[in-house]
Amino acid sequence: MGQGPFVKRNVVVGATTERRQSTHIDLVVPVVITGRDAAGQPFREATETISVSFHGAAVKTRKQIPIGTQLTVECPLAGTSGRGICVRVAELAPGQELHAIAVQLLMPSNVWGVRNPPADWQSHAAVIQQKAAPRTTPLISTASPVAKTQPPVAAPAPPTSPDLEQRSADLAESVMQLLRGQAAGILRESLKVYEERLKFLESGVEARIIQSAEKVISDAGTRVASQVEKSVDDAEVELAGLRRDLMEQLSARTERVIDAAEATLRAKLDALVAERLNPATAKPEIKDEGEEKK
């Protein structure tokens, strides 16, 4: 998506534009092109030609210009200008900002200021000048003393020439190029509407996916939280049982120790009491050997 009608525009648009009407010269000439781009915005771009002919030129541009767009081409060095139609658009090469368009002049001329142009340029220019020259009609002489009335003679049909036929074909091709340009504009708008609709649908799908993911995450978090809470409760129960068991064991052991200590103490007390009551039964004290020698 998003390619528009400029993807496959390096094809030939017609037999007339493909046939070279005059010699092409590979020549770089600074020019200024003026017109409207594919978005309908007016522009004025300083650029240069790739090749020139008497009927047009190949021009570099960074603008997207549909086929059939009318342009004004100015040559500052020669001080000339001319109007033309974009008849071919080359596909933009990867990594480049400029691509080539073919501009066919509506009125062929040496707009590019080429010195010593080819012979066919000069012949085309001569034909155009001859056609543009005003025609003079000879005056009828009234010096004759005898005026004769003659029937009116029909004016002869203008002779057709190959150049006139070529001009007619060029004009027809220009009209066709304009129609193609309008069709390309309609197609471009339709593709734009389709792209906007597709983006809207994609955004809706993305929103639904995000909502589903959030719901899944929320459910998983709830389940994990419940499991953790249950585990904590189970651990607390187990710890309480273990504490109770330990306390019971400590209590039993303490009671046994206390009972044993009481029994021992009671036995000692009984022995002491018996010794005090019956001195005869008391054991004689053992004197130290040093005391006996004294």
pLDDT for residue 164:
57
In this predicted structure, the answer to whether residue 264 has a pLDDT above a threshold of 80 is yes
- The full 3-state SS of 38-77, as one line of letters, equals CCCCEEEEEEEEEEECCCEEEEEECCCCCCCCEEEEEECC
Residue with tokens 């008391």: 282
pLDDT of 243-261, one tens digit each? 888 888 888 888 888 888 8
How many domains does the structure of the chain reveal?
1
Q: Tell me the C-alpha distance between 223 and 231, whole Å.
A: 12
Residue with more model confidence, 56 or 272: 56
Give domain status of residue 149, yes or no.
no
Give domain status of residue 82, yes or no.
yes
Residue with more model confidence, 278 or 154: 278
pLDDT for residue 19:
43
Q: Report the pLDDT averaged over residues 68-76.
A: 95
What is the tally of helices (H) and strands (E) in the chain?
4, 6
pLDDT confidence of 162, banded at 50, 70, 90?
Answer: low
pLDDT confidence of 294, banded at 50, 70, 90?
Answer: very low
Written as one letter, the residue type at 199 is K
Residue with more model confidence, 177 or 162: 177
pLDDT for residue 229:
82
Give domain status of residue 74, yes or no.
yes
Give domain status of residue 97, yes or no.
yes
pLDDT for residue 88:
93
In this predicted structure, the answer to whether residue 20 has a pLDDT above a threshold of 80 is no
The reported pTM is 0.42
Give domain status of residue 228, yes or no.
no
Residue pair 89/136 in contact by the 8 Å Cβ criterion: no
pLDDT confidence of 79, banded at 50, 70, 90?
Answer: very high
Which of 133-137, 144-148, 272-276 is predicted with the least confidence, judged by mean pLDDT? 144-148
pLDDT for residue 54:
94
Give domain status of residue 75, yes or no.
yes
Give domain status of residue 180, yes or no.
yes
pLDDT for residue 146:
42
Task: Provide the percentage of residues in the chain whose pLDDT is more than 70.
Answer: 71
pLDDT for residue 3:
38
Cα dihedral value 183, 184, 190, 194, nearest 10: 150
Q: Which residues form the domain of 66? A: 4-114+166-202
pLDDT for residue 203:
78
Residue with tokens 């036929």: 165
pLDDT for residue 291:
53
Give domain status of residue 272, yes or no.
no
CATH number at residue 54: 2.40.10.220
Cα dihedral value 212, 213, 218, 222, nearest 10: 100
Q: Give me the chain's average pLDDT, please.
A: 76
Q: Report the pLDDT averaged over residues 120-141.
A: 71
